[in-house]
Amino acid sequence: MRVGFIGLGNMGAPMATNLVKAGHEVTGFDVAGVQIDGVRSAASAAEAARDQDVVITMLPSGSILQSVYGEIVPAARKGACLIDCSTVDVESARAAHAAAEAAGLLSVDAPVSGGVGGAAAGTLTFMAGGTDEAFAVAQPLFEIMGKKAVHCGAAGAGQAAKICNNMILGISMIGVCEAFVLADKLGLSRQSVFDVVSTSSGSCWSMNTYCPAPGIGPQSPADNEYRPGFAAELMLKDLKLSQAAAEGVDAATPMGERATELYEAFVAEGGKGRDFSAMIEALAGQSRR
């Protein structure tokens, strides 16, 4: 396929690289002027979108997404498929779908889970919203860039699923961090906590795969001085999106609300630029009152 790729940051660059390795012809654009081996550089988002079969976007916010769609929708050829892999609010995703549909374009909102490591390894999970026809066009590319793609429903459903997933992640990571801090003060070894919890009812991804305690379990950012696999400020962004969505539909999410408050404080007090699992150090430095 001829693919335009807009947004070649920490996630977009390896995703575009994997498409090139699979034999697709990729034209890229990034406002920072990023150059990727094998990716032809365009001078603008509109140029990257012109005459492509598929245009993929990986952008930082809903407002930027809508602005970029204002450029690429008029430039894209009729019948092309626009795939947005950004994590944004549901309403922005639906607005992007509407703009594409009005111009005779297919569209999919397809945020990802798996972080920078998953983008590089081609093991991302895609949560997709859109028509069956659009998902069918996008699926072969999802299979290159990831290990799983789930068609969650109509326009905006991918973003809704991502918001729910990452709310769980934020809450569960805080729970795991709290458990290690409590265990430390009760005199338990961290290894014994991991060995028990990872095979018991407290088992979860935040413990088993992404343990926040260094030297325990599989390699994680905790073993690299909490250099981010998933930065704390990105977790905060996703938690804020979850709470905006919950407010919009009158859903009770008290744990999501509290997790948002804790990550907001963590980012403001030195957590920015660190992995979200570094929350364990913030909690370890606090007393109960």
Report which of 145, 164, 140 is spatially closest to residue 153, judged by C-alpha positions. Answer: 164
Query: 162 catalytic, yes or no?
Result: yes
Per DSSP, the three-state class of 254 is helix
Angle at 235 between CA 67 and CA 206, to 5 degrees: 145
Contact 113, 124 (CB under 8 A): yes
Report which of 206, 256, 211 is spatially closest to residue 236, judged by C-alpha positions. Answer: 256
Q: Is the dihedral of CA 87, 123, 100, 49 positive or negative?
A: positive
Catalytic residue among 21, 78, 148, 162: 162
Report which of 168, 215, 209, 169 is spatially closest to residue 190, judged by C-alpha positions. Answer: 215
Q: Which residue has the tokens 């999970």?
A: 125
Annotated catalytic sites, by residue? 162
